[in-house]
Amino acid sequence: MNPMQEVFIRVATSEDAAAIALLSSELGYPASAEAIQERLARLLNNSSHKIYVATQGDNILGWIACERRLLLESGEVFEIVGLVVSKAARRKNVGRQLVTAAERWAEALSARALRVRSNVQRQESHPFYQALGFEKSKTQHTYVKSLLS
pLDDT tens-digit map of 104-133: 999 999 999 999 998 877 778 888 999 999
The distance from CA 52 to its chain's CA centroid, rounded to whole angstroms, is: 8
pLDDT tens-digit map of 24-55: 998 888 999 999 999 999 999 999 999 999 99
Of the candidates 42, 56, 35, 118, which has an alpha carbon nearest to the alpha carbon of residue 83?
118
Whether 148 is covered by a domain: the verdict is no
What 3-state DSSP class applies to 90?
Answer: coil
Whether 146 is covered by a domain: the verdict is no
Its pTM stands at: 0.92
Q: What angle do CA 97, 102, 103 make, to 5 degrees?
A: 95
Q: How far apart are CA 103 and CA 139, in angstroms?
A: 23
Whether 45 is covered by a domain: the verdict is yes
Tell me if 10 sits within 8 A of 55, measured CB to CB.
yes
**What is the domain count for the chain?**
1
Q: Give the CATH number of the domain where residue 93 resides.
A: 3.40.630.30
Q: What is the domain extent for residue 55?
A: 8-131
